[in-house]
Structure 1
Amino acid sequence: MMGFDVFEQTAPSKRAPQMTDVAAAAKVSMATVDRVLNRRKGVKQRTTERVLQAALDLGFLTAGEFELIATPRPPNIVFLLPAGANPYLRLLGEKLRVRAAAKGRDAPSIRCIFIESFNARALADALRHHAAWADGIAFMAIDHPEVREAVEAVTSAGTRVVTIVSDLPHPARMGFVGLDNQSAGRTAAMLLARFSKKTSGSLALVAGSRNYRTHSEREAGFLALLEEMYPDLRVVGVREGHDDAGENYRHAMSLLQQHPDLIGIYNVGGSSNGIARALVELNRAGDVLFIGHGLTADTRKFLIDGTMDAIIDANPDTILSNAISLLCAPPGQMLAGHGQSASRMDIFFRENLPSGTGVPLS
């Protein structure tokens, strides 16, 4: 009897799908597949959906992996702030660092970058550079053609843009978060004129730089109200101190020495400590009214000791929260240029200073 062996024929093992197979099926490059799978920015939504569906159909992704990657990741957000000694901007930076360190799983990734102050080219370069990582950028704007061009470039490439504190009206920005600065300037003029109880005398303004719309708008509001209601109060000069305490000190000393009838100073920008120092050294702190912006450790001290008379403030936590909310809004929910522009204006005097504000003491 002839015997024979029976061998069971097994099918060849199926090759596991590779990224190259996903790219071929989705008709995209390997680089695009890599960006989609790692949830990096720069891929159109319909392309992302096509890549993920191809990966699922081929078995490259499980259903659970598909759902995880298809869920939009929290956005990457960069804040660009001017470098320097401006206490209010340093306070914003410190609060951003606290938020970044406390990031939760579903919270946006936040970076705070300080760049050279009053330098339009440095700001434009920073916008372009950080747009490579950021889904959204919030920045204190300088009104300059190079900055406008950079905003046009980064928004066209898909990065959202929000201006804070100082605006740059541009149809592509998501919105502006800050004070109504003309109203702030008018308020400062009203306070100085009413507090002085004088019908004549001179007033002075110290600004950071008119390159920031926030400063030029405050100045315009200040001058407009005086012209309308107090034409006999004379504005003797608008000095630019670039938010530097040393420059502000020198400007204040000059104004106080040259104008014996000076009854008030409005600091349009930051670094009020320089002006306060001049008032104290010349023994004019109780004589010359002094109004500024930003409730910080130094301005709080000056209100308490009587060197300053009033502080106009925009709550820094509110500024940051509103900017982040705009940049995190779901696609299609927020139209470009339609962000809320006016933050609440708080006016602080010595008698109504809040406690537990989180203002650093150093």
Structure 2
Amino acid sequence: MKKATLADIAREAGVGTATVERVLNSRGNVTASTIEKVIQAMRHLGSTRALPQRYSGVLRIEVLMVRRETPFFKRLNDAFLRISESLDSSILLHRTFVDENDPKSVAGRIAEPGFRRVGLIIVAPDHPAVRERLSEERAKGVAIVQIVTRIDGSNDAFVGIDNYAAGRMAAMFMSRMLRGIKGRIVAVCHSGVYEVHRQRILGFSDYLAEHSDADRMFSRVLFGLDQDLRSGELVESAIEEDARIVGIYNAGGANAGIAEVLKRRKQDPHIMWVGHELTDESRLWLKSGLMDIVLDQAPETQARRAIDTVLRKINFLTVEVSTEPVRFYTITAENV
């Protein structure tokens, strides 16, 4: 590829050569949006020209996440942090946690980040105020990527696993491993506010319905809001009310609460437990036999692909980024 000239960069950015020269020589009198266009054009053309230090981090991407305290989002946050250190110096990645229980404040953060951004990677509860603010950001030309879970009514790029398939996978394992054992199966999830959980429960329910067996029945869904104490209490109450429970599928993130209940009841007949996310704790539960299967949704892969998708949308990358669902992993005591 021939070396990109000032004229090439100007043509790609839709500005004049004098504007490109002012950016490259840090002469001022250039708007932030124009600087972004020039930098994006340079990267798109593969230009190796050095940028003035003052333009370090001029292209800002924000990542909005929820539930900082959960193992999954800790892994996701750590992945974004590691990746940010390897990005081009012109890119700055902001990581922000918002309160999922206050969707209006989430919408407020979307609307007023406090800085100019070219991209937004977001996982947030589905709420009318959130949808409205995202629509406004789209109109401004912000590249939006939804990660982990979708918000209804949008055509934004999505990075995440096939959650319906994950639910079906959990049901398939449970059906086959409990073959010949009579009893009831329960599922646990956050609530109906996240599409990720709705899809997992739907896939789980559909598989069991399609492969119905009189010996095993899917009896109920428990909404634990991904809170360990609440989820544990709901599971324990369900077991005490129905001694026939032989399987638990946790489609959410409150695995520690369920683990405590099963530990306390270790003298009871074994209850098959399938959950999500490989962590230091779930490794131990798998090895001890307390937990049977973990479906891990590879947050590190999701973080990398989400950033690449934003960079592709703003023409910073020239190669296409996969739009296929991220592969999830099945982990047992044998491959933990």
Structure 1 or 2, whichever has the larger Rg, is 1
- Alpha-carbon distance between aligned partners in 1 of 2:34 and 2:121, rounded to the nearest angstrom: 19
Report the CA distance between 1:84 and its aligned residue: 4.7
* Segment drifting more, 139-148 vs 235-244: 139-148
Secondary structure at the residue paired with 1:146?
A: helix
Distance verdict in 2 for CA 1:141–1:115, change over 3 Å: closer
TM-score, normalising length: structure 2: 0.79
Q: Give how far 1:106 is off.
A: 3.4
Tell me how far apart the structure 2 counterparts of residues 35 and 90 of structure 1 sit (CA, whole Å).
Answer: 40
- Cα distance in 1, alignment partners of residues 333 and 148 from structure 2: 24
Question: Is 1:186 matched with 2:178?
Answer: no
Question: What is the CA-CA distance between 1:86 and the residue it aligns to?
Answer: 1.7
Of 40, 51, 67 in structure 1, the residue corresponding to residue 32 of structure 2 is: 40
Structure 2 vs 1, CA of residues 44 and 348 (structure 1 numbering), >3 Å: closer, same or farther?
closer
Query: How many correspondences in the alignment?
Result: 300
After superposition, where does 1:255-334 map in structure 2 within 5 Å? 255-283=238-266, 287-329=270-312, 331=314
User: In structure 1, what is the equivalent of residue 234 of structure 2?
Assistant: 251
The within-5 A match list for 1:203-282 is 203-232=185-214, 233-282=216-265
Contact 1:118–1:209 (8 Å) recurs in 2: no
Q: Which runs of 5+ in 2 are unaligned?
A: 1-17, 20-25, 42-48
One-letter amino acid matched to 1:312 = L
Kindly state the Cα deviation for residue 250 of structure 1 after the two structures are TM-superposed: 0.5
Q: Over residues 270-296 of structure 1, what are the superposed CA-to-partner deviations in whole Å (9 max), with x where a residue is unaligned? A: 020100110110126860000111111
- In the alignment, does 2:63 pair up with 1:79? yes
1:202 corresponds to which letter in structure 2?
R
**% identical equivalent positions:** 24
Matching residue of 2:143:
160
Q: Which residue of 2 aligns with 1:21?
A: none
In structure 1, distance between residues paired with 2:36 and 2:63: 24
Q: Tell me the residue number matched to 2:13.
A: none
- In structure 1, stretches of 5+ residues that fail to align are 1-24, 27-32, 50-63, 354-362
Structure 1 pair 137–318 and aligned structure 2 pair: CA distance change class (3 A): same
Alignment partner, residue 138 of structure 1: 121
Closer, same or farther: CA 285–188 of 1 in aligned 2, 3 Å: farther
Q: Partners of 1:286 and 1:107 in 2: how far apart?
A: 58
**Paired residue secondary structure (1:142):** coil
Moved more, 136-145 or 243-252: 136-145
Q: Secondary structure at the match of 2:116?
A: coil
151-160 vs 320-329, greater mean Cα deviation: 151-160
Query: CA–CA distance in 2 between the matches of 1:181 and 1:35?
Result: 49
Aligned-partner Cα distance in 1 for 2:116–2:268: 48
Query: What's the counterpart of residue 74 of structure 2?
Result: 90
- For residue 112 of structure 2, give the secondary structure of its aligned residue in structure 1: helix
- Asked if 1 retains the 8 angstrom alpha-carbon contact of 2:36 and 2:58, the reply is no
Distance 2:74 2:228 in 1: 14
Contact 1:127 1:150 (C-alpha < 8 Å) held by counterparts: yes
1:215-267 Cα shifts (integer Å, max 9, x gaps)? 00101111111111024322222111111111111011111111111010000
**Alpha-carbon distance between aligned partners in 2 of 1:198 and 1:107, rounded to the nearest angstrom:** 60
Shift of 1:42: 7.8
Kindly provide the amino acid, as one letter, of the partner of residue 274 in structure 2: I
Report the aligned-residue RMSD. Answer: 3.2
For 2:331, the aligned partner's letter is: F
Distance 1:285 1:315, change over 3 A: farther
Distance change (3 Å), C-alpha of 1:239 and 1:228: same
| TM, length-normalised to structure 1 | 0.74
Instruction: Write the distance in 2 (CA, Å) between the matches of 1:323 and 1:251.
Output: 35
2:193 is equivalent to residue 201 of structure 1: no
For residue 114 of structure 1, report the CA deviation from its aligned partner: 1.2
Q: Which one is further off, 206-215 or 113-122?
A: 113-122
Q: How far does residue 73 in structure 1 lie from its aligned partner after superposition? A: 6.7
Which residue number corresponds to residue 8 of structure 2?
none
Q: Distance in 1 between matches of 2:56 and 2:82?
A: 24
Q: Which amino acid aligns with 2:169?
A: T
CA distance in 2 between counterparts of 1:127 and 1:285 reads 48
Task: Report whether the alignment pairs 1:126 with 2:126.
Answer: no
